[in-house]
Amino acid sequence: MTNQQYSHNSLRTSKKITLKNTADFKIRLLNWAQQFEQVVWLDSNEYPREHSNFDAVLAVDAHSFLKCGYNNAFAELKRYKNNTQDYIFGYLSYDLKNDTENLTSNNLDGLQFPDLYFFQPKKLFFIMDDMIEVQYLDEYADEMDTDLENILKQNEMPKRVRHDVKIHKRITKKQYLQHIDVILEHMHRGDIYEVNFCQEFYAENAKIEPLEVYHHLNEISKPPLAGFLKIDDKFILSASPERFVRKEGNKIISQPIKGTAKRLANKKADKQLAIALSLDEKERSENIMIVDLVRNDLSKTAIKGSVKVEELCKVYSFVQVHQLISTITSIIDKNTDSIDVIKSLFPMGSMTGAPKLSAMKIIETLETTKRGLYSGAIGYFTPEDNFDFNVIIRSILYNQSNQYLSYSVGGAITAKSDPEKEYQECLLKAIAMKKALKSSHY
């Protein structure tokens, strides 16, 4: 590390450092972070910073925190954020739907995560290209130099541990197909047009080293919105490709994903699959239905006439899959609180369906597991009231104390859905998590 430079604001002391090897530093930094009870790591995996101010960020060690159930959760979060007026990092679980609508969540919950958790970190590390900006709350600033020395002393990779994980399906294929038939009956009656139906894969008595599994998952997928979250004994290991919503000044950006195709080793055949996905009538209709839903949700807080579709059904190619992604934006009044924007959009349309309320009721009836953090969001708020949140998909959730491990996958069901193909799409999306839990990857 070279070129060290200090600066100061009302809350935090900061220091900018030039890195010699950014990839190496990121690994050592995340290893060092494991000593803390609260850790949030967000990594763009070097995707272009079109909608981001940094390549990666680490937030650790709570100076203050908010943990609560869904009752009045958004009001509590608004109060906490506005009182803190600093960076706060954390997550929103899917079951905050019960705060936005008159709904319940009574399905099995093996993970036992709180519905909402945010914390104000004592220590922050922002990585941009070969530069890192370290920001410590003033009362902890004297620990900065010692911490930086200790980070450089860390091993390059975490210790390899043999994982003892036997994955089970929460429902059988036969049950899955039966549930799809019920959904199609709802569609034929006009109750819904689209619903995102999900299934859980789980392990009991699971013993894993979470950081090692995260590194493996990230290595397999290299997504633009990866995340590692640790809150006490609970972990999220996320390889999410999807942005839920971001605020940049008075601009709101949402990028729902709907439409999936596998990747192929043969470049020509792979390109043909991507083109076929962009033209697929069923996949495009899935995406466009959600675009309409997001436009409607954004309009609740937008300045009149400001909602725009900047990209419609654009193919983005990731390591595991091709995806159709649309980008919808709006402009809000300067006095509109960021929490009101998020609440108006939550839960995200890509993980519910249309109409949203009817879809969520059907999801609760037909899915056998409480979603919890799955199809929720990880992210942060800035002191300027900006924010950025991913969608918690392609993610492994782990409760270390009760040794329960879970990952869920799903897909959009429409009247044109082929139940067998939908099931195969679920298995395709589960590949990365399944591979990541194999221990022999170094």
Count: domains in the chain: 1
* C-alpha to C-alpha distances, 172 to 222, 249, 423, nearest whole angstrom: 30, 47, 11
Q: What is the mean predicted confidence (pLDDT) over 75-85?
A: 97
CB 357 within 8 A of CB 100: no
In a domain, 441, yes or no: no
User: Which of these, 336, 360, 331, 356, lies nearest to 345 by C-alpha position?
Assistant: 356
The boundaries of the domain holding residue 206 are 2-436
Q: Is the pLDDT of residue 2 over 50?
A: no
In a domain, 216, yes or no: yes
- Where residue 211 falls among pLDDT bands split at 50, 70, 90? very high
To which residue do tokens 């990880």 refer?
378
Q: Is the pLDDT of residue 97 over 50?
A: yes
User: Which of these, 394, 407, 398, 434, lies nearest to 111 by C-alpha position?
Assistant: 398
- Catalytic hit among 76, 194, 212, 242: 242
**Token pair recorded at residue 316:** 């983005």
- Where residue 4 falls among pLDDT bands split at 50, 70, 90? very low
In a domain, 423, yes or no: yes
Long-range Cβ contact pairs of 275-280 (< 8 A, separation 24 or more): 275/315, 277/315, 277/322, 277/324, 278/313, 278/314, 278/315, 278/324
To which H or E segment does residue 5 belong?
strand 2-8
In a domain, 442, yes or no: no
In a domain, 232, yes or no: yes
State pTM to two decimals: 0.95
pLDDT 10s digits, 314-352:
999 998 899 999 999 999 999 999 999 999 999 999 999
Q: Which CATH number characterizes residue 46's domain?
A: 3.60.120.10
Tell me what pLDDT residue 92 has. Answer: 98
Q: Is the pLDDT of residue 66 over 80?
A: yes
To which residue do tokens 């002393």 refer?
153
| 258 annotated active-site | yes
- Catalytic hit among 26, 230, 247, 258: 258
Q: Is the pLDDT of residue 157 over 80?
A: no
Q: What is the mean predicted confidence (pLDDT) over 48-62?
A: 91
Mean pLDDT is lowest, of 144-158, 350-364, 380-394, 428-442, for 428-442
pLDDT 10s digits, 108-124:
999 999 999 999 999 99
Q: Is the pLDDT of residue 5 over 60?
A: no
Supply the mean pLDDT for the chain.
93
